[in-house]
Structure 1
């Protein structure tokens, strides 16, 4: 294989690793802001918290939307696909703080609004009790 062929392969591999890292890390270095797990409901953004949180679902709230990561730039926002899932109330916590998101109640996952690295106290109490 020529030097050019090897160099091209290395550059392609490096670009793939960087794009995956950018999407899962959010650029913060801690992996806490995965854009793959970012949903919007009523103009608020929710991130998944932890898979082990025990919570009780309340009523169905409506639809939460997830847009794909634009970690490489250049995507035309007008052509950007949007995925939707059901949003559910979490008993004991305001939907302004946390919701559950999933196709069905059995597959719903716990999501919370975050400002930076802060987790709302109501959510932290629920995590600590799990």
Structure 2
């Protein structure tokens, strides 16, 4: 099992430090669209399949990236994958994504800790 602790990540361009762009981190999996939920402690479960992350072209001077990127979607311990999944965004970063609009978890989710 992997325990993931997220801090706010605002740019699909990555790179640590302050975000250079304003793209929301979004993924599709199982005909559902998920958005990033920051500042929540969670545990990564089993691999579920492939999630797709759309391109982000909001950084001036960046290469024109129009390709959809694929990443493994993982279950989140204690949550139904129809509510939330985890995605390995980079080799060092696993993100929590949920179907709730605005990057939050549905109110019925009580087993995750907000920081």
- Post-superposition Cα deviations, 1:80-115, rounded to whole Å, max 9, x if no partner, equal 411011110001000000010005786311111123
Residues 1:105 and 1:95: Cα distance change in structure 2 (over 3 Å): farther
Task: In structure 1, list runs of 5 or more residues that go unmatched.
Answer: 1-22, 25-33, 72-79
Of the three residues 68, 81, 84, the one matched with 2:55 is 68
Describe the SS at the equivalent of 1:93: coil
Larger strand fraction of residues: 2
RMSD: 2.9
Q: Which runs of 4+ in 1 moved over 3 A?
A: 103-106, 115-119, 122-125
Which is greater in Rg?
Answer: 1
TM-score norm. by structure 2 comes to: 0.62
- Post-superposition Cα deviations, 1:31-51, rounded to whole Å, max 9, x if no partner, equal xxx43x01111111111110x
Give the structure, 1 or 2, with the largest relative contact order (CA under 8 Å, sep 6 or more).
2
Structure 1 position 119, deviation (Å)? 3.4
| Residues matched between the structures, number | 89
